[in-house]
Structure 1
């Protein structure tokens, strides 16, 4: 079961590695674009969340999930290299031994760095607009403070759950025959992890960058930011690799 779909994922992984090997600058640019796209979703979430929270809305998390999904939709529809989604794609190729783990880890590292660069640039541009003030700025700064002060176990568990959702969106997208179906699955999975309050490493890059550039009188711990990104990145990897890629690899492998 799922042999054809798993093979298609491996072909996708080969294409990613081909791009990295033949055009590393191009691959880095695609990773930066993913940081930009997820950053746009994060900023939209912060804007809507700030306005709805100020208005006393009780459904802010659900609304945030709906609007944040634009980020993953842009990644999958426009084409970009997202670290969290690549945890699943590349791990499937690694488990099926179509690609070496050394090359896979190298791609993950470059992709993460590119996502970070794109996220910081997006946050800087948003800061330059002067819109990260008032209710919006306060909401995003509060979000950054909360994330930077989270406990290690809590952050790790939330990160695992988050990337289960993201990687399921990628896996379902590989099985969908229409772009509309892919978008629908993106929205369903993103609404799930945002509404539940799970942790996404790349989204956090933008939240922290905006919060640090526009603290709005709040003290955001640099150490807390670094700890969050490390713990959440590891948790995202476990969620994508162990909880999604490994099970579907085992389901799709030939009987020994």
Structure 2
């Protein structure tokens, strides 16, 4: 019962904030994208440096600190689309909020996240920091991700947000800050080291690729992003959110 109330209260607070202050909600979404971009810079820089020694070591380095994204978002109170796929679903399933408002909130959050991460990604490339190391590493990641077929990308996106929303659940449930931070870092590293697809992170990566002239802003890229968004929604809302809701709701009774 306690977990149910924690999640549904978190979701309702997001609805209230969105309805009361649309522009502030949008800004928090933009800032969440910026926080994710900062974590990407750290991960890409570390991964590209370690890649000069060993490709497997580079994967470990890249994944190890990407969870900084979610630590920053949780402690700095940002709005991340993928995490909201879990929390905002609960009030809708409990018939306290409408699916229309939830969809509108998701869209605003998604646009804000995209703008934030794209801006940081663009600035990072233009800074030319570690350019000789980072550019080939980004090229490798972009080429790999754009080569997936529909089924592979969808499954990887589903698994990604299933894992991300587990981290979101943890951030709501655990109160001790050190324990929360450690567990979130470990959980998030799971989806990163396996190369699963997070739509916001992919946008940041593709922005870097476009800015470096490594990829065209083509239909295939847009299609890739749309599939990853769909998969993230399925993974966070249907694969995790729906069963967790029914488990906790029936336990509440």
Work out whether the TM-score is over 0.5.
yes
Q: In structure 1, list runs of 5 or more residues that go unmatched.
A: none
Q: Determine the structure 2 residue equivalent to 1:231.
A: 227
- The CA deviation string for residues 39-83 of structure 1, in whole angstroms up to 9 with x for no partner, is 111222211111111222522222211111111110111110000
Q: In structure 2, list runs of 5 or more residues that go unmatched.
A: none
Query: Are positions 1:127 and 2:125 aligned together?
Result: yes
Query: Are positions 1:118 and 2:94 aligned together?
Result: no
Q: Are the aligned partners of 1:149 and 1:224 in contact in 2 as well (CA < 8 Å)?
A: no
Q: Distance in 1 between matches of 2:93 and 2:187?
A: 24
Number of aligned residues = 252
Q: Distance in 2 between matches of 1:142 and 1:129?
A: 20
- The alpha carbon displacement at 1:232 in A equals 0.5
Q: Distance in 1 between matches of 2:197 and 2:56?
A: 21
- The alpha carbon displacement at 1:132 in A equals 5.9
- The CA deviation string for residues 136-190 of structure 1, in whole angstroms up to 9 with x for no partner, is 1111122122222221111100011111110001112211121112212211111
RMSD (CA atoms): 1.6
TM-score where L is the length of structure 1 = 0.93
TM-score where L is the length of structure 2 = 0.94
Please give the residue correspondences for 1:191-202 in structure 2 after superposition, counting only pairs within 5 Å.
191-202=189-200
- The CA deviation string for residues 221-245 of structure 1, in whole angstroms up to 9 with x for no partner, is 6222211110011000000011111
Q: Are the aligned partners of 1:32 and 1:114 in contact in 2 as well (CA < 8 Å)?
A: yes
Specify whether residues 252 and 171 from structure 1 end up closer, same or farther in structure 2 by C-alpha distance, changes over 3 A only. Answer: same
Q: Distance in 2 between matches of 1:253 and 1:205?
A: 35
Q: Determine the structure 1 residue equivalent to 2:238.
A: 242
1:88 to 86, 89, 95: 86
2:95 to 97, 102, 105: 97
